[in-house]
Chain A
Amino acid sequence: MRHPTLRRAVVAIPFFAAIGLAIRLDHGPIRAPANAAHPGFVLRDETAAAGIHFVHHRPTFDRRIANVEPHVAALGASVSVADFDGDGWSDLYFTNSRFGQPNALYRNRGDGTFEDVAASAGLADLNRPGEGVSMGSIWGDFDNDGREDVLVYRYGYLALFKNLDGRHFQDVTQAAGLRRWVNSNGAIWLDYDRDGLLDLYVTAYFRSDVDLWHLTTTRIMHNSFEFATNGGKNMLFHNLGGGRFNDVTDQLGVGSTRWTLAAASADFNEDGWPDIYLANDYGPEELYLNDHARRFVLSTAGLESESKSGMSVALGDTYNRGRLDVFVTNISERGYLFQNNNLRLNLMSEARGFRNVADAQVADAGWAWGAQFGDLNNDGFNELFVANGFISADRNASYWYAMSKIAGANGHLFEDARTWPAFGNASLSGYERSRVFLNRGLSGWVDVATAVGVTDDYDGRAVALADLSNRGAVDVIVANQNQPAVLYRDYPDSASHWIAFTLVGTRSNRSAIGAEVEVESGGMKQRRIVDGGMGFASQNDRRLHFGLGQHEWVDRCVIHWPSGTRQVLQHLSVDQFHTVTEPAR
């Protein structure tokens, strides 16, 4: 073509088409997403009907950091599940975070309703000046007496309570050697040395020399948005027996200072020893591999190459490979930041690493917090429930613009809380809607939250899953920051079958925390773990629930007990709970 104008016109066609294509792709992928029709379950908000009236109250801190208080005080809503009275019905424990505001222990009456017995149990009044405010709790039978005890982690002193009789609890923190000031947002029980006693891993966020009510310095914030290492030091406490613990953090090399927000434990590399996976704010995730309880080795599994804002660690078998994969939530905000959630397939055994397979659907759940895997429709595949939203205040004022300025500064600047632009009444990724991702296998994930009845826009933090009515359904409990808690009852398709297990350790810890169960049915192989804390500031039902779809039988069930015992079960009936006691070797 000789004429330049004509040539330019020819080039202009694909040029403008490309702009049009960008606009089109902004609305979503051209390829149709996974089929969202017939999710096979509904979730109904039955909070009020269940008698749960818990409202979380955020903390208030030293006025010298009032300019960033909405940010610093944006954590603390938690929920954990345990059958504390041993009546066979899962109970709920919510933490509060303001001085004088009580925590709530909801006893499951077994008729669909709950009663708050925290005060009589001695677990309500835990938010006091000088002691700190609650950030979360984990349940586990640390003394193997058959009753679930509880550790409450706080911005303040740790608090360990021994379950005396299923109704009353005794503070044994001092005697246990755990009276330590830790600004913690997470903790997990695990038996890292497989001695049958639950050990304790506590994550720290702000440095442990920081008293947020009596600051000696305002240089308390992270020193990098990407690679901060000036957070509190995580701690590992070894259970010595006799109700005593000792600090083995340095000895075992697990004292990360990366602003850890969540931890989870499982045997990722299948060497028989439980490892520790950390979601760190302002930094990469970390996997500490357990070297025969002699030490933990920070794995080079490719995690160090992605620096994000890890908020939560959930473990689940994504594609029924018989492996525990990892889902870590992060921040996404339209136009500003796409950190993207990580859905990491566990390839530790064959490739010493993980493969991130988060598609656009699960990658972006807004400012995501707690998440859990659970088979909500009993079809044999895990769904993902993700709570989100950071600070909901003035709908017309966003702090994101201010955040984009401070994020570009050098670390020494924003390490000082006083240099941050004042929050005022601004929102920061507020009023976000929780996501419920339906698992369509290799076809991908699709958000069905609205379709199944999840429509709240609270600032979700902790998510726990539990079968609260012992009916083969995975109910969802969400603790919301500075807002009411929500209970979503799960109503799965009644045509689908299920099976569930209550495990009782003998040589292993009595709570069976760390036990992994593999169920094979009709060619499907699913794996789940009894968690000692998972997600963000949460702990799920100790009983393991498996959906089976249309399969009316289970071919085989293999239990990998923390002690190393491998137990095989066959000919199990479906649609019921099975209580399995660990066999002698």
Chain B
Amino acid sequence: MTRPTQATVAQQPALLHWWNRGAQLDPRYLIAFLITLVLVVAQLRYHMVGGYDRLALALLTCTATEALLSWFDRGRIVNLLSAYISGISLTLLIKPQGGALWPFALGGFLAISSKYVLRYRDNHLWNPTNFAISALLLAAPDRVSVLSHQFGNDVATNLVIWTFGLIIAARVGVLHITLTYVASFLVLNGARALSLGQPLLPEIAPITGPMYQLFVFFMITDPRTIVRGQRQQIVVAILIALMETLIRFASDSGWPLPTAFNAAPAFLALAMVGPVAKWLDLRRVAGGSPPFRRNR
């Protein structure tokens, strides 16, 4: 057995210290850090934002709506980190026709206000960004599309995002959801490719794209909208992947689905499965604290 060197011994407590400190943080800070990292990498290396006016508008709309509605609903302004995360997610994910800015304003408003309207037992049911993107894609397909390209189709950038993403997902206590979804995606779409006689790689390739990165690190793991209990969370992740596979099957078969289903099947799958699961969960367990605290 190799003895640990002095350096390793000295480093271990520091690393552990930071790891443990991360565990004590509100998970939204870690998530906010990760999405900011994605934004910075996406913009500096690939100019993906498409204009700082979009970023400013989305952030302003999300935070202002959150501040206003929380004050109106609860009599106080809540922590705006969730709104910040939604604003950046929308900036990265919405690709409008021409230089239109309204999708960022409407998307931001829909995302945040959905939390105050679409509620059950004092919990919102949809991940705000997922709801806003899905609603815009369904309501305005002639004007709005979703990010469908890669970070330059470059492996190195993907590795950076995935590495940070997985570490933070572990720290937040939702790594099992991310991994379950990714594994389910690979298995189910591999099986789909086999059953259709299509090449495997193009069918599983989308999982490496930035749209899916935002999906697995910020949407299906949203602490406020996941169900309670690790086992249940794993089941729901599998169900979302299954729904997505069914949507893709329908697209493969040429079903006349709205374009949103073909362009962003994962988002639509979450938008359909997630709220139902959450609703059932809330029915099952009356009251209680947010699920991510239970998991810790």
Min distance, Cβ B226 to any Cβ of chain A, angstroms: 23
How many angstroms between the C-alpha atoms of A397 and B137 in the bound complex? 21
B191-224 at interface with A (beta carbon < 8 Å): 198-199, 201-203, 205-206, 208-209, 211-212
State whether A340 touches B139 (Cβ < 8 A). Answer: no
Complex: chain B residue closest to A403, CB-CB: B148
* Interface assignment of B79: CB less than 8 Å from any CB of chain A: no
State whether A408 touches B149 (Cβ < 8 A). Answer: yes
- Residues of B contacting A396 in the complex (Cβ-Cβ under 8 angstroms): 254
From A181-189, A356-364, A520-528, give the one contacting chain B: A356-364
How many angstroms between the C-alpha atoms of A336 and B265 in the bound complex? 12
State whether A332 touches B208 (Cβ < 8 A). Answer: no
* Interface assignment of A18: CB less than 8 Å from any CB of chain B: yes
- Residues of A contacting B254 in the complex (Cβ-Cβ under 8 angstroms): 396-397
State whether A405 touches B202 (Cβ < 8 A). Answer: yes
State whether A22 touches B98 (Cβ < 8 A). Answer: no
- Residues of B contacting A226 in the complex (Cβ-Cβ under 8 angstroms): 46, 149-150, 152-153
How many angstroms between the C-alpha atoms of A361 and B99 in the bound complex? 10
A409 and B201 in contact, given A224-B152, A334-B259, A335-B141 (Cβ under 8 angstroms): yes
Encode contact with A along B116-156: 1 for CB under 8 Å, 0 otherwise: 11010000000000000001110111111100111011110
A401 and B262 in contact, given A18-B110, A336-B148, A406-B202 (Cβ under 8 angstroms): yes
- Residues of A contacting B251 in the complex (Cβ-Cβ under 8 angstroms): 401
Encode contact with B along A509-534: 1 for CB under 8 Å, 0 otherwise: 00000000000000000000000000
State whether B116 touches A359 (Cβ < 8 A). Answer: no
Encode contact with B along A392-407: 1 for CB under 8 Å, 0 otherwise: 0000110011101111
A7 and B117 in contact, given A226-B46, A402-B202 (Cβ under 8 angstroms): no
* Interface assignment of A14: CB less than 8 Å from any CB of chain B: yes
State whether A413 touches B201 (Cβ < 8 A). Answer: yes
Min distance, Cβ A31 to any Cβ of chain B, angstroms: 12
B9-32 at interface with A (beta carbon < 8 Å): none
Complex: chain A residue closest to B143, CB-CB: A26
State whether A15 touches B113 (Cβ < 8 A). Answer: yes
Complex: chain A residue closest to B193, CB-CB: A421
How many angstroms between the C-alpha atoms of A227 and B114 in the bound complex? 37
- Residues of A contacting B152 in the complex (Cβ-Cβ under 8 angstroms): 224, 226-227, 411
Encode contact with B along A1-36: 1 for CB under 8 Å, 0 otherwise: 000100110111011001101110111000000000
- Residues of A contacting B136 in the complex (Cβ-Cβ under 8 angstroms): 22
How many angstroms between the C-alpha atoms of A333 and B141 in the bound complex? 10
- Residues of B contacting A306 in the complex (Cβ-Cβ under 8 angstroms): 47, 50
State whether B205 touches A406 (Cβ < 8 A). Answer: yes
* Cβ contact of B98, chosen from A10, A358, A407, cutoff 8 A: A358
Min distance, Cβ A23 to any Cβ of chain B, angstroms: 5
Min distance, Cβ B78 to any Cβ of chain A, angstroms: 14
- Residues of A contacting B135 in the complex (Cβ-Cβ under 8 angstroms): 19, 22
State whether A404 touches B110 (Cβ < 8 A). Answer: no
How many angstroms between the C-alpha atoms of A563 and B237 in the bound complex? 69
* Interface assignment of A550: CB less than 8 Å from any CB of chain B: no
- Residues of A contacting B103 in the complex (Cβ-Cβ under 8 angstroms): 22
- Residues of A contacting B106 in the complex (Cβ-Cβ under 8 angstroms): 18, 21-22, 25
A405 and B113 in contact, given A224-B154, A336-B145 (Cβ under 8 angstroms): no
State whether A363 touches B97 (Cβ < 8 A). Answer: yes
* Interface assignment of A305: CB less than 8 Å from any CB of chain B: yes
Min distance, Cβ B210 to any Cβ of chain A, angstroms: 8
Min distance, Cβ B90 to any Cβ of chain A, angstroms: 13
Min distance, Cβ B103 to any Cβ of chain A, angstroms: 8
* Interface assignment of B100: CB less than 8 Å from any CB of chain A: yes
* Cβ contact of B259, chosen from A225, A336, A411, cutoff 8 A: A336
- Residues of A contacting B143 in the complex (Cβ-Cβ under 8 angstroms): 25-26, 360
State whether A8 touches B117 (Cβ < 8 A). Answer: yes
How many angstroms between the C-alpha atoms of A402 and B116 in the bound complex? 37
How many angstroms between the C-alpha atoms of A515 and B291 in the bound complex? 71
Chain A interface (Cβ < 8 Å from any Cβ of B): 4, 7-8, 10-12, 14-15, 18-19, 21-23, 25-27, 223-227, 304-307, 332-338, 340, 356, 358-361, 363-364, 396-397, 400-402, 404-414, 419-421
Sample of 10 further A-B pairs with CB below 8 A, known A4-B73, A226-B150: A26-B141, A26-B142, A225-B150, A227-B46, A336-B145, A404-B262, A405-B202, A413-B202, A414-B202, A421-B202
Give 28 pairs: A residue, B residue, CB < 8 Å, sorted on A. A8-B116, A11-B72, A11-B73, A12-B117, A14-B109, A15-B113, A15-B117, A19-B110, A19-B135, A19-B139, A23-B140, A25-B106, A224-B154, A226-B153, A304-B47, A334-B145, A335-B141, A335-B259, A363-B97, A363-B98, A397-B254, A404-B148, A407-B149, A407-B150, A409-B202, A409-B209, A410-B154, A411-B155
